C-alpha cells in the first residue's frame, strides 16, 4: 500500500482539519505539563491526534470499535505529519507554537523530533481489525 498516496487522497476539508489537529497535538506533546504515555513520542503524538480526530468526527456517538474512523484518523495523521516529519521542521513548528518557558527543553525537543520520521501503517478498517483482533 502506498501510504503517502493514500494520505494525500483525503478531502481538502479533512486535510485542513488534519493540519489544525496536528498543530494542537504538537502543542500538547511539547508542553512542559505533558506526561509521556510511552517511550516513543511518535506514538504519543499519533494517540493525541487520534483522540482529537475521533472527537471531531463524532466518534462518541458511534461504536468505539468503528474501524473506519480509526483508519481515517491514522490516514489524516499521516497527511498532517508529512509536513513536519523532518526534525528541523518539527522543532521549528514546536518553537513557533509554544514559548520556551512553556515547552520541554531544547535537548528533549531534539529527541522528540528525532522520533517523528514515520508513517502509521494501520490505515484501513481491515488492518485495524486484523491487528487489534476485534471481531467484526
pLDDT digits (tens, 9 = 90+) for 75-93: 999 999 998 889 999 999 9
- What is the number of domains present in the chain? 1
Identify which has the larger pLDDT, 129 or 136. Answer: 129
By residue count, the chain amounts to 136
Confidence of residue 39 (pLDDT cuts 50, 70, 90): very high
pLDDT band at 27 (very low <50, low <70, confident <90, very high): very high
**Which structural domain, as residue segments, surrounds residue 86?**
3-132
Q: Is the pTM of this model over 0.75?
A: yes
C-alpha–C-alpha distance, residues 22 and 90, integer Å: 11
Report how far residue 68's alpha carbon sits from residue 66's, in angstroms, rounded to the nearest whole number: 6
Amino acid at each position: 500500500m502506498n501510504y503517502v498516496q493514500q494520505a494525500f487522497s483525503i478531502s481538502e476539508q479533512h486535510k485542513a482539519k488534519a493540519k489544525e489537529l496536528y498543530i494542537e497535538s504538537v502543542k500538547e506533546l511539547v508542553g512542559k505539563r505533558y506526561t509521556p504515555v510511552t517511550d516513543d513520542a511518535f506514538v504519543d503524538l499519533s494517540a493525541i491526534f487520534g483522540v482529537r480526530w475521533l472527537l471531531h468526527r463524532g466518534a462518541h456517538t458511534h461504536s468505539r470499535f468503528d474501524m473506519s474512523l480509526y483508519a481515517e484518523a491514522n490516514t489524516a495523521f499521516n497527511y498532517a505529519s508529512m509536513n513536519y516529519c523532518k526534525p528541523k521542521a518539527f522543532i521549528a513548528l514546536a518553537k513557533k507554537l509554544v514559548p520556551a518557558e512553556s515547552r520541554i527543553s531544547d535537548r528533549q525537543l531534539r529527541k522528540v523530533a528525532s522520533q517523528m520520521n514515520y508513517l502509521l501503517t494501520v490505515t484501513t478498517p481491515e488492518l485495524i481489525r486484523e491487528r487489534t483482533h476485534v471481531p467484526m
